[in-house]
Chain A
Amino acid sequence: MVLRSGVRVRWAAFGIVLALPATVRAELIVRGGSARYTQEIVEALRKEAGTHGVKPEVADLTGVGATDHSRLGRLAASETVVFAVGPQAVTVAASAVEAGRVPVIALGVPNPDRLKVRATYIAFYPRLEPLFRWMAARFNARTFGFLYTPSQNAAVAAAFDEAAKAAGVSLRAIPAASSGELVRGLKALGEVDVLLCPVDPLLFDRESLRIVTDEARSAKKPLLGFLPDMPQLGFTAALVSAPEAVARTAWQASRASSAPGAKAQDVDGPILYVTKDQTTTVDLAEKPGERRRK
């Protein structure tokens, strides 16, 4: 698989472990799932480790099972930090390394409050307040719709709402747990300028995704997601933290004495504005017209 960054990595059915040689300060990177974005984060972490003079080893995991649990426990026994990428990797890693003994840095987790796992979380979403300011300018928007499944993303919706207020725009929450509720909820589409969809089970249900993209297209409203795959599935664009920035933040967090379970640490640095045809790097501090081609 060739990633956006052009680096070829090995795909794993369930995950990848990146272990560093024991002769240097040891780190362990655990990855769960095969999602494109989390693969990119893993690759960026490898590069980040490389800039600090270490070359990680890559190993495949087998799944969320006792084998992975015991294997991670052994691998992490001599480590000082564990980076876990993806919710399943975080869950297994935190359990295997006896949380508290070895710090776990959690990446690629869109809704940390659902995990209830002791770890230091790196925010999945870009810094929200400047993101809202940028989106408001880019799309000339004052009101944003936020479509989400309450059971999965209630905390995320609250965070988006808080950031929208701080940015001086309004957020219209559209809770929808099923495709039927989606149909009713999207009747509010006429009252918003832009529709936002977090990483949510609705996206992974073909029927729901089709309803969302059809309705947004027919209402001629920009539809923004937070996974780089979304533009290929009918979204206007996706806004994601640059994997390199995520990796850098995670690396810095591993060196800091941050308390596990605290609020997710924001990622500093540019974000990626991904459309169907191109990916553009955006500095949220700049005005939209000043963005540069990648």
Chain B
Amino acid sequence: MSGAASRPAVVLALLAAAMAAGAQDSDFFEQKDSYFQTQTIEGVSKRAEALTETPATVTVIGRDDIERYGFRTLADVLNFASVGNFTHNDRRYDFAGGRGLFFYEDFNTRVLVMLNGHPLNEPWNNFGGVGREMVVPLELAERIEIIYGPSSLLYGGYSLYGIVNVVTRNGETEPGRRLRLTGGSWKTGEALASFGRAGSAQGTPWSLLVAAGYYRSSGEDLDLEPIGASWGGPQSGTDFERAPFAFVHAQRGDFSMLLRAGYRRHGAPLAPYESLYGSTDEHVQDSKHLAELRWDRRMNARLRLSARVFHDDYTYEENDPFSDPAADLGEDLYTFVLHTDDRDTGGEARLHYQTGGHTVTLGGEYRARGMTQRSFDRFAGGAVRDGAREAAVTGHLAVAYAQEEWRPSERLALIAGANIADTKPGGRRAQPRAAVIVKPAPRLSVKALYNEGFRPPSIFEAAYADFSQQIDNPDLRSERIRSGELSMMWSPSAKVSAQAYAFTSRLTGLIRGVEITAPSQVQGGVVAPSGDPADLVGVLQYQSGGDVEASGAGVALRARTTSLHGYLNVAYARPRLVEGGSLSPLPASSSWLASGGVAYERGRWTAAATARYVGPHDLDASREMAARAGDFVEANLRLSWRTRLVYPVRLDLDVRNVLGADGTLAASPVYTPATVPIEGRRVLLSADVRF
């Protein structure tokens, strides 16, 4: 054989040898599950379950995927790794939607966001942040559980779109000292430090993880097309973000403690509510501090008891600068300031009892909720305009729940449950769940699911009244959603899995803000302080109005070889607003969504790409424009290199929106423009050292 002819053979032989060595490697690292852990989900039934057995359609994103693909926030995960969930970023917040349901200025009130099973949605406005407002950096996440559709039977509501649960690492899964530093475009800088330790004292295991960090970015410089005389043009430093946090997770024996503190301040460069365009003073700030003490004890092989007590504190501050030549005191510049402070204090007790083919879950939770709100106009000189508005309101949530899972055979599981919740505001509401799970083969499960969910009105929606801009509505009742679903999960091998679902849902009693145009529209018997009903014309009142029907389907594929990992998600949903007997499309909600990722690992290098497709969607009806938004592809790249510079270091190069896509999303009616541009290309470099 000639030398030239033998070269390909040598190359092929070397390649085959490398692949064989890689396969050996890969097979061994997969054995970790045999000795230490198995992938489970806890968010659906409040106990560890296999993905194929939980009564819901779920996606679990593990720490390896988070690192491999470079997901930075929960919004990233929803947009680039979920099946049919998405967020619209309006440069203040990531607003989440799911399965076709999306409502402007919703503030994620219909998705339950949790940290280690601790609900984060606050009582003032039911807000659950999926950015940096409430959770911890995903570098501290062990896994993220995404549960689709209403699944909050054991939580007492709020989950109309689904649940997103961030399960953090602990002192055992994130041991030692770690420092991660990031810098890049838009003057972005981030520092994250953690210390973890685990051990055993007198036979009792303990673990401790302490972490703190700070994120800052000046944001993208924007040059938006002018609209009228006062909106548009170049601006810089208005899209800023600051987010410090601290986090502690401690465990000893049956007790564990969760502490989180931090805030996130973000600019509002698109100037909502016709505020002053291009002002760096305009911002929102969300502060979330929480403490939870949990006790979890397995009494014997059958019985497990759990209890927890918690206190959450949330404050919100909004600064909207305005220019109004007709303002008081002869000053034309003033800032509208809204400050709220709410508290959520409560406890929960729960038991799981397992015998034969039966698993029973019983429990109850109570939360006392309180809110104070203050809003006023502050002039540039610091003086406050007369008429500052204040309110202090209390509420509660009490829920009792029960669920029975019966497995009469290896191939069949029947699950039934119900809860009854009493909320103030909102009233009393019961919610059932039923599921049939058939496993015709060990690696195939088919689930028929019926779920109901509800969302109580927030304290803000039901009880806030200043009689100049908004009035309360004592008659406001909870929204309710009913959902029927057929779901399939198939794992023909450990390296390939497929998931598919089809659903139909109907949301009734949609809560929306209505501008009162006639006294007869006022609900709840609200009377103006003057006693004149005409005084209420022009103010806002939250009312139940209209239903939303939705149906759709989705499919997800995951596969991996020795060195390649990949996934693909495609979802379709068709939502329709039912109002006065007519059907109309839901604005800002894309029927088609897709996301995917591919990663290649070789030695110390990993290259990964993720992408999402956001299908076209309608603008808000008030825009009176024929155009649509959406219909774009956004892609991210990550290149990782592991090396040693005395200590092990991982270097990550991220290029966000690598294609520089000019995508747009339909803007909320509170904005002057009809669309919001997605963020442009951004480069970030991170160094992650464990020492």
The chain B residue with its CB closest to the CB of A73 is: B356
Contact with A along B610-647 (1 / 0, CB 8 A): 00000000000000000000000000000000101011
The chain B residue with its CB closest to the CB of A110 is: B35
Which residues in B have their C-beta under 8 angstroms from that of A151?
171-172, 175, 198-200, 205, 207
Which residues in B have their C-beta under 8 angstroms from that of A183?
644, 646-648, 691
Which B residues from 178 to 198 make CB contacts under 8 A with A?
A: 178, 196-198
Contact with A along B656-691 (1 / 0, CB 8 A): 000000000000000000000000000000000111
Inter-chain contact A70/B357, CB cutoff 8 Å: yes
Known: A67-B413, A151-B172, A178-B177. A204 touches B36 (CB 8 A): yes
Which residues in A have their C-beta under 8 angstroms from that of B410?
67, 70-71
- Is A86 part of the contact surface with B, judged by Cβ < 8 Å? yes
CB contact between B176 and one of A38, A96, A181 (< 8 Å): that residue:
A181
User: Complex Cα distance A239/B405, Å?
Assistant: 45
Known: A66-B407, A150-B198. A88 touches B34 (CB 8 A): yes
The CB with the most chain A CB atoms within 10 A, among B50, B439, B491, is that of: B50
> Chain B's nearest CB lies how many Å from the CB of A58?
12
Which residues in A have their C-beta under 8 angstroms from that of B493?
13
Inter-chain contact A13/B494, CB cutoff 8 Å: yes
Inter-chain contact B40/A180, CB cutoff 8 Å: no
- Is B372 part of the contact surface with A, judged by Cβ < 8 Å? no
Inter-chain contact B31/A33, CB cutoff 8 Å: yes
- Is A60 part of the contact surface with B, judged by Cβ < 8 Å? yes
The chain B residue with its CB closest to the CB of A94 is: B301
Which residues in A have their C-beta under 8 angstroms from that of B648?
179-180, 183, 207, 211
- Is B468 part of the contact surface with A, judged by Cβ < 8 Å? no
> Chain B's nearest CB lies how many Å from the CB of A113?
8
> Chain B's nearest CB lies how many Å from the CB of A274?
13
- What is the total of A-B residue contacts with beta carbons within 8 Å? 162
User: Complex Cα distance A207/B643, Å?
Assistant: 9
User: Complex Cα distance A152/B28, Å?
Assistant: 19
CB contact between A66 and one of B28, B49, B646, B689 (< 8 Å): that residue:
B49
The chain B residue with its CB closest to the CB of A108 is: B34
Known: A66-B413, A179-B176. A98 touches B407 (CB 8 A): no
User: Complex Cα distance A201/B176, Å?
Assistant: 14
> Chain B's nearest CB lies how many Å from the CB of A208?
8
- Interface range, B side: 35 or more
User: Complex Cα distance A146/B49, Å?
Assistant: 36
- Is B359 part of the contact surface with A, judged by Cβ < 8 Å? yes
CB contact between A67 and one of B32, B197, B439 (< 8 Å): that residue:
B439
- Is B53 part of the contact surface with A, judged by Cβ < 8 Å? yes
CB contact between B647 and one of A60, A66, A154, A180 (< 8 Å): that residue:
A180
- Is A99 part of the contact surface with B, judged by Cβ < 8 Å? yes
Inter-chain contact A64/B442, CB cutoff 8 Å: no
Contact with B along A152-187 (1 / 0, CB 8 A): 101100000000000000000000011111010000
- Is A32 part of the contact surface with B, judged by Cβ < 8 Å? yes
Which A residues from 262 to 276 make CB contacts under 8 A with B?
A: none
User: Complex Cα distance A155/B354, Å?
Assistant: 31
Inter-chain contact B35/A65, CB cutoff 8 Å: no
Contact with B along A193-220 (1 / 0, CB 8 A): 0000001010010110001000000000
Which A residues from 18 to 67 make CB contacts under 8 A with B?
A: 32-36, 38, 60-67
Inter-chain contact A233/B175, CB cutoff 8 Å: no
Inter-chain contact B34/A66, CB cutoff 8 Å: no
User: Complex Cα distance A95/B31, Å?
Assistant: 23
User: Complex Cα distance A87/B33, Å?
Assistant: 10
User: Complex Cα distance A179/B24, Å?
Assistant: 22
Which residues in B have their C-beta under 8 angstroms from that of A96?
301
User: Complex Cα distance A61/B358, Å?
Assistant: 18
User: Complex Cα distance A180/B690, Å?
Assistant: 5
- Is B223 part of the contact surface with A, judged by Cβ < 8 Å? no
Known: A73-B357, A207-B648, A211-B644. A177 touches B198 (CB 8 A): yes
Which residues in B have their C-beta under 8 angstroms from that of A69?
354, 359
> Chain B's nearest CB lies how many Å from the CB of A39?
9
Inter-chain contact A99/B176, CB cutoff 8 Å: no
CB contact between B29 and one of A94, A99, A204 (< 8 Å): that residue:
A204
> Chain B's nearest CB lies how many Å from the CB of A228?
10
> Chain B's nearest CB lies how many Å from the CB of A92?
10
Which B residues from 130 to 172 make CB contacts under 8 A with A?
A: 171-172
- Is B541 part of the contact surface with A, judged by Cβ < 8 Å? no
Which residues in B have their C-beta under 8 angstroms from that of A150?
198-199
- Is A14 part of the contact surface with B, judged by Cβ < 8 Å? yes
> Chain A's nearest CB lies how many Å from the CB of B265?
33
CB contact between B50 and one of A12, A65, A108 (< 8 Å): that residue:
A65
- Is A232 part of the contact surface with B, judged by Cβ < 8 Å? yes
- Is A249 part of the contact surface with B, judged by Cβ < 8 Å? no
- Is A120 part of the contact surface with B, judged by Cβ < 8 Å? no
Inter-chain contact B172/A204, CB cutoff 8 Å: no
- Is B590 part of the contact surface with A, judged by Cβ < 8 Å? no
Which residues in B have their C-beta under 8 angstroms from that of A79?
none
- Is A241 part of the contact surface with B, judged by Cβ < 8 Å? no
Inter-chain contact A149/B175, CB cutoff 8 Å: yes
Known: A13-B443, A66-B359, A151-B199. A178 touches B35 (CB 8 A): no
User: Complex Cα distance A207/B178, Å?
Assistant: 14
Which residues in A have their C-beta under 8 angstroms from that of B642?
206-207
Which residues in A have their C-beta under 8 angstroms from that of B48?
64
CB contact between A154 and one of B199, B356, B650 (< 8 Å): that residue:
B199
Which residues in A have their C-beta under 8 angstroms from that of B32?
201, 204
Which B residues from 433 to 453 make CB contacts under 8 A with A?
A: 439, 442-443
Inter-chain contact A88/B407, CB cutoff 8 Å: no
Inter-chain contact A32/B34, CB cutoff 8 Å: yes
User: Complex Cα distance A64/B642, Å?
Assistant: 33
> Chain B's nearest CB lies how many Å from the CB of A185?
11
Inter-chain contact A180/B205, CB cutoff 8 Å: no
> Chain A's nearest CB lies how many Å from the CB of B46?
13
The chain B residue with its CB closest to the CB of A111 is: B35
Inter-chain contact B38/A64, CB cutoff 8 Å: yes
> Chain B's nearest CB lies how many Å from the CB of A222?
20
Which residues in A have their C-beta under 8 angstroms from that of B328?
none
Known: A13-B491, A150-B199, A177-B176. A33 touches B34 (CB 8 A): yes
> Chain A's nearest CB lies how many Å from the CB of B650?
8
Which residues in B have their C-beta under 8 angstroms from that of A74?
356-357
Known: A34-B34, A199-B35. A67 touches B407 (CB 8 A): yes
User: Complex Cα distance A87/B34, Å?
Assistant: 7
- Is B225 part of the contact surface with A, judged by Cβ < 8 Å? no
Known: A66-B49, A180-B177. A38 touches B356 (CB 8 A): no
Which residues in B have their C-beta under 8 angstroms from that of A211?
644, 648
User: Complex Cα distance A33/B37, Å?
Assistant: 10
- Is B532 part of the contact surface with A, judged by Cβ < 8 Å? no
Inter-chain contact A64/B205, CB cutoff 8 Å: no
CB contact between B28 and one of A14, A33, A233 (< 8 Å): that residue:
A233
CB contact between A33 and one of B33, B50, B207, B691 (< 8 Å): that residue:
B33
User: Complex Cα distance A206/B207, Å?
Assistant: 23
- Is B25 part of the contact surface with A, judged by Cβ < 8 Å? yes
Contact with A along B405-416 (1 / 0, CB 8 A): 101001001000
Taking Cβ atoms with an 8 Å cutoff, the residues of A that contact B are 12-14, 32-36, 38, 60-67, 69-71, 73-74, 86-88, 94-96, 98-99, 108, 110, 113-114, 149-152, 154-155, 177-181, 183, 199, 201, 204, 206-207, 211, 229, 232-233
| 29 pairs, A vs B, C-beta closer than 8 Å | A13-B443, A13-B493, A33-B31, A33-B33, A33-B34, A34-B494, A35-B31, A35-B34, A62-B50, A62-B442, A62-B443, A65-B50, A66-B53, A67-B439, A71-B407, A73-B356, A113-B203, A152-B172, A177-B175, A178-B196, A178-B690, A179-B176, A179-B690, A180-B689, A181-B175, A183-B644, A183-B646, A183-B647, A206-B642
Known: A62-B439, A62-B442, A152-B172. 17 other contacts (CB 8 A): A13-B443, A13-B494, A33-B35, A34-B33, A38-B34, A62-B50, A66-B407, A86-B35, A110-B35, A179-B648, A183-B691, A204-B31, A206-B29, A207-B642, A229-B24, A229-B28, A232-B28
4 A-B pairs with least C-beta separation: A33-B34, A178-B176, A177-B175, A151-B198
